Amino acid sequence: MAQKELHSIEELDQFVAGEGKRLLFKHSTICPISTSAYEEFQSFLQEQEVPAAVILVREDRPVSNEVADRFAIKHESPQIFLLDGGQVKWHTSHWKITKDAIVEALKA
């Protein structure tokens, strides 16, 4: 399943309000750690049917900041969130973002 990019707070609102589990990935296009984590995320998405969205933190800073404010979770990049019912059920960052970690989070 392909992910969508979120470029506005309105798009973020719509994504968060969706039903069921969904993944939100904050990505820095200039960071090698983020690139590695993004590849893990993409590998996961090639095998799983989960609604997913990406925020490019440099290009869409207001949206990235809104995530930190809304969920009261310090901004990091890369960073991934598992949302369900509009709430964060799991999140992690940097080298802890792996395909296996995402699979385990969805099972919990």
Report the CATH number that the domain containing residue 22 is assigned in CATH.
3.40.30.10
Determine the Cα–Cα distance for residues 64 and 75; give it in Å rounded to an integer. 8
Determine the Cα–Cα distance for residues 10 and 98; give it in Å rounded to an integer. 29
From edge to edge, which strands make up the β-sheet containing 22-27? 4-5, 52-56, 22-27, 79-84, 87-93
Q: How confident is the model at residue 108 (pLDDT cuts 50, 70, 90)?
A: confident
pLDDT of residue 1 exceeding 60: no
Percent of the chain with pLDDT over 70: 98
Q: What is the per-residue pLDDT across 12-65, written as a single tens digit (0 to 9) for each?
A: 999 999 999 999 999 999 999 999 999 999 999 999 999 999 999 999 999 999
- Residue-number span of the structural domain to which 64 is assigned: 4-107
Look at residues 54, 61, 71, 73 and name the one whose alpha carbon lies nearest to residue 15. Answer: 54
Percent of the chain with pLDDT over 90: 96
Name the average pLDDT for the chain.
Answer: 96
